[in-house]
Amino acid sequence: MTGPAPAGRVERVDLDNRVDLNDIAARLGVAVEEVERVHRLAGDHPPAPLPTKADAPAILDRLAVPPEDAAEILAGWPDPDSPLWTPELRWLLDRAIALVRADLGGYEWLVPGPELPRDRGPAWRHLYVYVYLALIGVVLGYHRDHGVPETVSWTTLADLGRNLAIDRRMNGEGWPIMQAWLTLHVRGGLYELGRLQYHRSSGTGLGLHIPESGPLTPEAVTASLDEARAFFPRHFPDEHYTEFTCGSWLLDPQLREYLPEDSNIVQFQQRFELDPYEEPEGLNGDVEVLRFVFRTLSTPLDELPRRTLLQRAVVDHLKAGRHWYWRRGHFPI
């Protein structure tokens, strides 16, 4: 029988094994509080197995993962005898899968685990991709239980490839946010229907997200909204939405100072009644505009491209000492 943990240390019992969370945190290079959170939320929930490595290329292709990212993911695959997978990495993979799986059907923002140093190889860099891949079969079963068409399932899940491509463009600057975002897809909390993505909620507002998937034309938006109006009553009849909601830099009315009335962005804005402005916790409007318009957070303003009217507007606005704002709005379903 062991004695009590020294003061300042965190220890928990994981199934039949005593896990030293301080040691795991030190080996991962993260705060012990982050490891303790994963341990606590995963509890005794079982993880889900990854697909076989032989099946992985076809799955990655179906998830629209770019070839260069697919090659890295396969190179870091968590084979049982892989020297890339240290005990602490395997522990985190197992517990992060269990953490996300435990919230199947959930739709709140969920961080699957601590941000890892990504320069230590593909196992470290893509650990949360392996979490996503392990949960594909789980969420497809959830979709089938709700009658969701397979085409909608795979279109929704292919946001993985889109986000990996964005992350590569951003040199890894965007991944901490993206890895939490992607837990929505493998919990059944988000669906891509045409041009827009729809985020379930516990209230009466059905959230809109705008993926990077082509022009935001009024016709494409209207078709997507019509699809959503039919989709959610059919597949989630116990949820009763009365309005579409959206939080985005795209709703900042200052954009109308620079863009014509017939632009896609302004026409998208015109659908919404804006909520009173409140400073969003953890979000900086200037940072988010740079993230989405330029896919960079570190390039000096003078070095950013000015090819489009929107790019010029963003840069000129910031160089004038002004700021962009993340605004929320709604309109009836």
Strands 190-193 and 243-248: unpaired
Tell me what pLDDT residue 18 has.
61
Tell me what pLDDT residue 237 has.
98
Contact between 329 and 275 (Cβ < 8 Å): yes
Closest CA relative to residue 197, chosen from 152, 261, 264, 262:
152
Per-residue pLDDT of the chain (333 residues; tens, 9 = 90+): 333 333 333 333 343 356 799 999 999 999 999 999 999 999 999 999 999 999 999 999 999 999 999 999 999 999 999 999 999 999 999 999 999 999 999 999 999 999 998 889 999 999 999 999 999 999 999 999 999 999 999 999 999 999 999 999 998 877 677 889 999 999 999 999 999 999 999 999 999 999 999 999 999 999 999 999 999 999 999 999 999 999 999 999 999 999 999 999 999 999 999 999 988 888 899 999 999 999 999 999 999 999 999 999 999 999 999 999 999 999 999
Angle at 129 between CA 199 and CA 40, to 5 degrees: 75
Closest CA relative to residue 294, chosen from 312, 269, 282, 279:
312
Closest CA relative to residue 148, chosen from 199, 184, 193:
193
Q: What distance in Å separates the CA atoms of residue 268 and residue 195, rounded to the nearest whole number?
A: 12
Give the domain ranges of the chain: 11-188, 195-333
pTM of the model: 0.91
Q: What distance in Å separates the CA atoms of residue 48 and residue 134, rounded to the nearest whole number?
A: 6
Instruction: Determine phi and psi for 282, rounding to 5 degrees.
Output: 80, 5
Task: Scan for tokens 């827009």, then name that residue.
Answer: 196
Q: Which three-class secondary structure state does DSSP give residue 7?
A: coil
List, as one string, the DSSP characters of 213-230: SS---HHHHHHHHHHHHH
Report in angstroms the alpha-carbon separations of 101 from 48, 201, 207: 8, 18, 22
The dihedral over CA atoms of 97, 99, 103, 107, expressed in degrees to the nearest 10, equals: -90
Instruction: Report the top-level CATH class of 195-333.
Output: alpha beta
